Structure 1
Amino acid sequence: MAGSTRPGRLGIGVIGAGKVGAVLGAALRGVGHAVVGVSAVSEDSKERAENLLPGVPILQIPEVVERAELVLLAVPDDALPDLVEGLAAAGVWQPGQLVVHTSGRFGTGVLAPARAKGAIPLAIHPAMTFTGMSLDLARLTDCSFGVTAEATVLPIAQALVVEMGGEPVVIAEQDRTLYHAALAHASNHLVTIAAQSAQLLAEAGVEQPDRVLSALMRASLENALASGESALTGPVARGDAGTVRSHHEALLRREVDSGSTDIRLAYEELARATAQRALERGMLKEAQATEILDILAQSNPEEKQ
């Protein structure tokens, strides 16, 4: 294993020069660790490695692992188990070697084959979306990382996160999937909602939907994060059944013309969830919530209560 000449610095090997791996490798390099090798297959990943990790040799995966004191596994979730098992079968993992993966879905259990060879498993997942460009490095500051590790080595995982400017948040092994579902729901589905809303605005003749949505969505997100569900506004929270009915009927009519159901279904499900949560928190009376839920259950724009 190759290391840095500075005390306390590690020789780091990056497996997967995707958007996450290249950025985290660059972040660790920026605080004095030596990146001793990176694996990259596609032309995009090779270019990313050259841009974010200039001078670092692009190597085959086994050679990266053999050179590294800390191996950073930044590969797709579904590829991680087979990769770890395959390297164990090939006898590549080394005793005392730190093995860190960036998957939100998995804890350290997925690294059991490496642990069996004497490696030290850590799970460090950044709760952020990545572009794979240098601007991501600044975004790591104050970014939360979901960290999972055995108690004896948890400080190592936490220290790595702090070095990159992030904030470590300890997640229990059995809670990793729920943790990741929460992040996917917040991030991925936000993109879907924005895209669906922009599509409706475009269909309504708005030339720059992003400009119309920008201030509204930013303010809504900031208010929700600062004040929770007490920041909720809009027709469902107000119990304005007439407005909900008009929205629903417009979406049903649009569906007949376009043949597309995804926006109407998403609106219905989120409005139902909003009404139910507002009812549970005393923001809506039961009669108001029932009326709204009944409207959302209608399948024909001509139906009336």
Structure 2
Amino acid sequence: MDAGEYLESAVRDVLAAPEIRLDDQVGYAALLLAVTGALDEADRLVEQWRARTERPVDALVAAPVRARAWAMLFEARGGRPGWAEGLAPLDLDAEERAHTASLRRPVSDFEGVLPPGPIAQVVEHVAPSRPDRVRAALADGDLTLWASLAGQRPDVAAPAATRALAPALVAGADPLGLREWAPSCAGALVAALHERYPPDLGSWPELIAEIMRLRGLGGAGPLLPPPASEAAIRSAGLRLGVDLPQDFRDFLRTCDGLPGDVVFPRLLGTAELRAENGVVILAEPAVLLLSASHVVEVDPVLGTTVHPSFRAALGRHATLLAQAS
């Protein structure tokens, strides 16, 4: 499996494909992550999909084999994650028998060649049949052989739905060798979901409260500085010699600065703001700059980003926090 090629195609679908195709891609990706042993990443992807789309989780398991796969994985991991409460429980013994039979079912060389119908059924019935090597490998419990035969888009539901193999997958067998890639895959798809379904961040108090919540600090609470007074905001503008943008003034009216976190700098309050050559330094360290109503974010690793407004910069921070949650 070419992981890079797969992910590029999956991200395109999440960004722009019809919703039924998007759901299929997310459902496949979640099972792919689970088969690599990255159950936490699978859970994160599904939870973000639910939060962004608000669709029922059974949209991800339209195919019966996917529902069976998750049921076997839940048994192997000892319980269901929160997102799976909406899935109907299955009779695992009956599902195991049905799946074992499907793995052992021979295939015809004409299978899938003709359109469904009576003629196709007759041809497939009389045509020579042979074992399906991919499915037979799973029936024999050989994940290594299955992975070598599975092709560019492995049917990841099939091994997960194999009751005898699900515990090994949950334990990290990782037959496709994608475990280290899994966080990047989940992160890219979550980012695409947020781009397609941008969150409504509401008013300034709501945005700040959401940032603090995503940081694991509850709502605004005692960690936030109090709002700046109108006099302090006017004084800062006069001292800096600039006309502070409306959205930045609205931010200061909500809280006079903002604590930093591991990826975002501390935002300065009115008394700490300073200007150099007409550029206002908004943060400590000085990686967030206000210039001509645009906010320039300087990242030594990712480079420089120009945000159209101060609120856009804070909104981007909130989005990144949500993607990582």
What's the TM-score bracket when you normalise by the shorter of the two chains?
under 0.3
When Rg is computed on C-alpha atoms for both structures, the one with the higher figure is 2
TM-score by length of 2: 0.25
TM-score by length of 1: 0.26
Larger RCO of the pair (alpha carbons < 8 Å, separation 6+): 2
